[in-house]
Amino acid sequence: MEAIERLYFRYFPEKLLGEVLTKRWSDNAVPVFATILTISFFLLQNPNFFTLSSLTETSRQLSEFSLIVVAMGIVLLAGGLDLSVGSVFALANITALICIHILGWPVWATVATTLAVGGLCGAVNGFLIGYLRIRAFLTTLVTLIIIRSIVDIILLRYAVEISAVFPESDLWFFIGDGLVFGIPFSFLVAIVVIALWHVILTRARAGWHINAVGGSRRSAYNAGLKVKFTVFTTYVWSSLLTALAGVFFAARLGSAGSDTGAGLEIAALTAAVLGGNSLGGGRGSVIKSVLGAIVVLILTDSMVRVGISGGISSMILGIVLLAVVAIDVRWLKNRHKLLNKVYVSPAYFRLSELPETGAGSGSPYAINDRLKDVSLIGQGEIEGPEDVIFDRNDNLYCPNRHGDIVRFLAPNYKQWEIFAHIGGHPLGMAFDAAENLNVCIGGMGLYQVSPDHTVRKLTDETNRTLLSVIDDSRLKLADDLDIAPDGRIFFSEATIRYDMHDWATDALESRGNGRLICFDPRDRSTKTILRNLQFPNGVCMAGDGQSFFFAETWGCRISRYWFDGPRKGACEVTIPNLPGYPDNINRASDSCFWVALVGMRSPALDLAMRMPSLRKRMAKRVARDQWLFPNINTGCVLKFRPNGEIVESYWDLGGKNHPMVTSMREHKGHLYLGGLYNDRIGRLRLPDADPNWTSQVAYWGANK
Amino acid sequence: MIMESTPQSLTSSGTGKSAKMGSRIGLTQELIVFLLAIALFTYFSLTLDNFLSSANILNLIRNVAMLGMLSLGMAVVVIGRGVDLSLVAVMAVSLTFSIVLANQGYAFSAALVLGLALVIVVAIIMGFLIAYVEIPAIFATLAVSAIVYGLGRGVIATLDVNNVPDNLDWFLFLGRGSFLGIPIPIWLFAISALALYLFLRRTGFGRFIYAIGDNISTARITGIPVRPTIILQYVLSGVMAFLAGCVTAASVASMNMRMVNSTLIYDVLLVVILGGIGLSGGRGGVRNVLVGTVLIGLLLNGMTILDFSYTVQNLVKSTVLLCALIVDALLNPRDEQTSQQGDI
């Protein structure tokens, strides 16, 4: 059983599925599938469907229709709706015909006039909906009737005249029937316009405003966007694009029928929503609109060819509209629930047997009460000192939860000040040779604070992994760092899939979601050097200038990585099976290393690690605060030799002063303890330690 | 508080200055519309020769009765913050269904019951789509309208116009008869108006509809069965559409399905909005429908006598509707901070 589960959770692409669902483009899956299905269905039904001549004709219709659907999509994206497209289309058609057939105007004037008329209709809609804030549905319904009435009145007067005259313009003929390299001219224009709108909506400021207004109108308003103007423009653009389609239609057919554009609004709306544009705004794209246009056009075309009566085909369109709106509404409402269900993707992980920690067992991990007598610094005055560090003047620095770096002043550490405010929760810290304090900040990246309090961003992104689905270039949870003698900063990023406060979910997955990253200050480049680590946490230079130790918290092990020298690139496990979850690693005065165990393993959780399906069920069905959690309430500090041998351990049995230890720093004969959720810093005298040793001098040398 | 929704109660409860302002203007709006209707009636009586002729008055009354009944149905839905664009399609197709059944040999009363059953089934499906699937009401009703019309044209009947079978005087009486000198359609309109008035003001479900229209989330939290009540709204409006259809079919002894393609549904909206029932729901009542019906009925009748063409009538009507929407928007401006996302 266990073997099956192990294989399943290693090879079944559940994680991929969850990640794909987080992407906005995954919404397109349904329309793309529908498009392929429709096309192949009618291809099987009627092979003649895709002959060249029929394709040319279809592509002309498609270019007109998709322009209108794209127009509808733009309005939908901003949270509106434009039902007047059918009438505007008819009005554009009749305007163009009157200009060229009766008035005999040149083509450019005809096109300009038609577009102007269309723009005017859009401006009226936009004014009523954007500025007066009347409901889009009713407004455009009414303008639909008004414009339709105007078209009918014009038709009554000019229809005969229009059909009596044929324009003598080659250019006009070319617009309607011309081919460029065998492709209809109107089709090319439509492609250009559509590509342009794709760029506008995804890359340009105007398009982003439209997205913002549709996504959350109130937020857009409060952010200072011109909401009313943006809404206004969407209607103007909608009518302009529709008028352009009307020009092509006029040039192609030259007919002034009274049913031009009748029912077009429903077809366009169906197409836009079918493509995946959301009613109510905020979700939509040009691509979606075009896909929807293709499906609906093929559908209606085929119904005409098969000879389905008007009544039935309107019924079919109505059913399609209802079905796609229903899917759209339910999808929007339940998408995040589905995502919650599939995104968490636990992995199979088997830990070796728990090492002995019993008192008097003789094991180096044996529990004791050596942390009981710590003296406290800043009790109740700081929150969340994840790491502690000292400068050459013995001042103590620690981060707090409010995004500050706090400095306790030597010698008695009673007085403190805010050294720098960065924002985010600073985690690991390290001084470089020039006395700059380098800080990893959860959610922000790698920052540097110089002695004169200036805050600089060093990096917040790394190279993106090829073929990664979620964007892993941003640093989500930079955790701890150390600096090589040549100035390169090596730091760990605990997980790329979750934010800092979701660390428990990452623990539940126990998948290698973390990585090690190198920032090179010489060319300011950032590069990922090691991937798929289980919550890499503490980083500490081994002292040979070629390698460093790093801890993998959920992996319960400490490894050594060589970044230089003959073994460059090698990575080898130093301590494979810790009794708890290791956090920060720092140097000790006797050429050993300190490591903090933030919490201890428990047999139940160790067993659960071998049962990913259990953990998956737990993530789905049990409230988060009832999950099997890594315990972070009992921890200890260990000292180990570079070869991995554990020397001694320091425990706080009652959990009174230091229920959690995430970091420790040895400084002048004392050990200072920090904890992510503590409100104090502990100070423990080390009787056997060198009372003058400081990490700073030992690593960077005495002279400044 | 939620239950009370008459303008007077809002004023007396003093929910703030703006509410007082709004209600005062709302009251005047209703009054203005009523005065306008009287003015229009006087004007038409004086200037149009045929206006006061008995034939025209009868015609006017019949049209008004039909329009009024449809508007009553629409009003119930709009008060509950919905909209029912399928009224005309449901009316035309359900009566066509009854007539076709009768022509195939069913007893006409049985055929009518089956027609009513069709209406109720459609309304329940539509209400389900709106209340449970949460499709916006305008889309659901628009799509159902198209589907029902397609059903009528493609499946139920082959002809657009279907005649009521002969020898059905009792049915035609509904459209052509009179009682105490007042035509039956008016009686039917009055009875249904009274019934709906009592329903909206005196029954729990009527109060629920106001509560839902006022604030659907609050209504839900209060424990009102929101979703069943929404379905009930659409069933009620469907039944009103069926009644209106009976009156129409009885008065001309046939049912014309092309009516669906006319702008009748916008006339209905016009009545409701002009009468003063805000589209944002929770406001207004039967009285507003009566006032709106009179004005629009007069306007339509006058334009017909004046021999305005169909298109020009549409133009006038829709322009009036647009003006009504603009006035509505100016009197009840929507605020960026409180308006609902995706409210189209």
Closest Cα in chain A, distance from residue B47 (Å): 27
Residue B16 confidence (pLDDT) above 60 = no
- What is the count of residue pairs from A and B with beta carbons less than 8 Å apart? 144
Query: Residue type for A163, please?
Result: S
Stretch A524-538: mean pLDDT: 91
Cβ of B150 within 8 Å of Cβ of A217? The answer is no
Q: What is the DSSP string of B242-253?
A: HHHHHHHHHHHT
Alpha carbon A2 to chain centroid, angstroms: 34
Count the residues in chain B. Answer: 344
pLDDT of residue B259: 81
Count the residues in chain A. Answer: 704
pLDDT of residue A665: 93
Cα nearest neighbour of A137 on chain B: B344
Q: Which of the residues A125, A127, A146 would you substitute to probe the B interface, choosing the one with the greatest number of B C-beta atoms within 10 Å? A: A146
Residue A325 confidence (pLDDT) above 90 = no
Cβ of A280 within 8 Å of Cβ of B145? The answer is no
Q: How far apart, in whole angstroms, are the C-alpha atoms of residue A252 and residue A63?
A: 12
In chain B, % of residues over pLDDT 70: 88
Q: Which of the residues B142, B270, B313 would you substitute to probe the A interface, choosing the one with the greatest number of A C-beta atoms within 10 Å? A: B142
Least confident segment among A417-421, A620-624, B166-170, B193-197: B166-170
Question: What is the tens place of the pLDDT at every residue in A469-498?
Answer: 888 888 889 999 999 999 999 999 999 888
More confident residue, B335 or A389: A389
Confidence of residue A592 (pLDDT cuts 50, 70, 90): very high
Q: Are A87 and A327 in contact (CB under 8 A)?
A: no
Cβ of B147 within 8 Å of Cβ of A322? The answer is yes
CB neighbourhood size of A597 (10 A): 26
pLDDT of residue A160: 79
Stretch A341-348: mean pLDDT: 84
pLDDT of residue B17: 40
Cβ of A134 within 8 Å of Cβ of B325? The answer is yes
In chain A, % of residues over pLDDT 90: 33
Residue A195 confidence (pLDDT) above 70 = yes
Cβ of B337 within 8 Å of Cβ of A314? The answer is no
Cβ of A142 within 8 Å of Cβ of B318? The answer is yes
Alpha carbon B75 to chain centroid, angstroms: 6
Cβ of B318 within 8 Å of Cβ of A145? The answer is yes
Question: What is the tens place of the pLDDT at every residue in A298-317?
Answer: 877 777 777 776 677 778 87
Quick one: CA dihedral A67, A69, A73, A76, positive or negative?
positive
In chain A, % of residues over pLDDT 70: 98
Cβ of A318 within 8 Å of Cβ of B146? The answer is yes
> Which range, A53-57, B203-207, B248-252, is most confident?
B203-207
pLDDT of residue B29: 66
pLDDT of residue B20: 42
Residue B224 confidence (pLDDT) above 60 = yes
Which residue in A141, A143, A315 is closest to B151 by CB distance? Answer: A315
> Which range, A124-138, A152-166, A248-262, is most confident?
A124-138
Domain edges within chain B: 28-330
Question: Which residues lie across from A231 on neighbouring strands?
Answer: none
Least confident segment among A232-246, A280-294, B50-64, B158-172: B50-64
Give the H or E element holding residue A681.
strand A681-685
Residue B87 confidence (pLDDT) above 50 = yes
Cβ of B336 within 8 Å of Cβ of A217? The answer is yes
Q: How far apart, in whole angstroms, are the C-alpha atoms of residue B298 and residue B320?
A: 14
Question: What is the tens place of the pLDDT at every residue in B131-154?
Answer: 888 888 878 888 898 889 888 887
Question: What is the tens place of the pLDDT at every residue in A78-87?
Answer: 888 888 998 9
Closest Cα in chain B, distance from residue A328 (Å): 9
> Which range, A274-278, A387-391, B47-51, B157-161, is most confident?
A387-391
Mean pLDDT of chain A: 86
Cβ of A134 within 8 Å of Cβ of B326? The answer is yes
Interface of A with B in 417-456 (CB under 8 A): none
Cα nearest neighbour of B328 on chain A: A134
- Phi/psi for A528 (5° steps) reads -80, 130
- Phi/psi for A457 (5° steps) reads -85, 130
Task: Record the tokens describing residue B245, joined without a space.
Answer: 């259809």
Residues of B in contact with A266 (CB under 8 A): 142, 146
pLDDT of residue A49: 62
Q: Which domains does chain A have, with CATH numbers?
A: 58-341 (1.10.3470), 375-700 (2.120.10.30)
pLDDT of residue A703: 65
Cβ of B153 within 8 Å of Cβ of A311? The answer is yes
Q: Are B247 and B34 in contact (CB under 8 A)?
A: no
DSSP-assigned letter for residue A306? H
Question: What is the tens place of the pLDDT at every residue in B275-294?
Answer: 878 777 788 889 889 888 88
Least confident segment among A548-557, B164-173, B330-339: B330-339
Confidence of residue B74 (pLDDT cuts 50, 70, 90): very high
pLDDT of residue B343: 57
Q: What is the CATH code of the structural domain delimited by B28-330? A: 1.10.3470
- Phi/psi for A278 (5° steps) reads -85, 140
Q: What is the DSSP string of A637-667?
A: EEEE-TTS-EEEEEE-TT-SS-S---EEEEE
Q: Are A425 and A674 in contact (CB under 8 A)?
A: no
Least confident segment among A223-227, A291-295, A470-474, B47-51: B47-51
User: Tokens 């992996």 appear where?
Assistant: A555
Question: What is the tens place of the pLDDT at every residue in B52-61?
Answer: 777 777 777 7
Q: Which of the residues B322, B334, B343 would you substitute to probe the A interface, choosing the one with the greatest number of A C-beta atoms within 10 Å? A: B322
A159 touches B: beta carbon within 8 Å: no
More confident residue, B173 or A232: A232
Question: What is the tens place of the pLDDT at every residue in A657-668?
Answer: 787 889 999 999
Mean pLDDT of chain B: 80
Stretch A689-701: mean pLDDT: 88
pLDDT of residue B15: 38
Residue B18 confidence (pLDDT) above 50 = no
Quick one: CA dihedral A599, A602, A604, A606, positive or negative?
positive
Residue A122 confidence (pLDDT) above 70 = yes
Residue B340 confidence (pLDDT) above 70 = no
Which residue in A133, A218, A325 is closest to B337 by CB distance? Answer: A218
Residue A586 confidence (pLDDT) above 90 = yes
Residue B14 confidence (pLDDT) above 70 = no
pLDDT of residue A92: 92
Quick one: CA dihedral A34, A35, A36, A41, positive or negative?
positive
Task: Please give the C-alpha separations between residue A149 and each of A126, A138, B146, in angstroms, as whole numbers.
Answer: 20, 17, 21
Stretch B300-313: mean pLDDT: 81
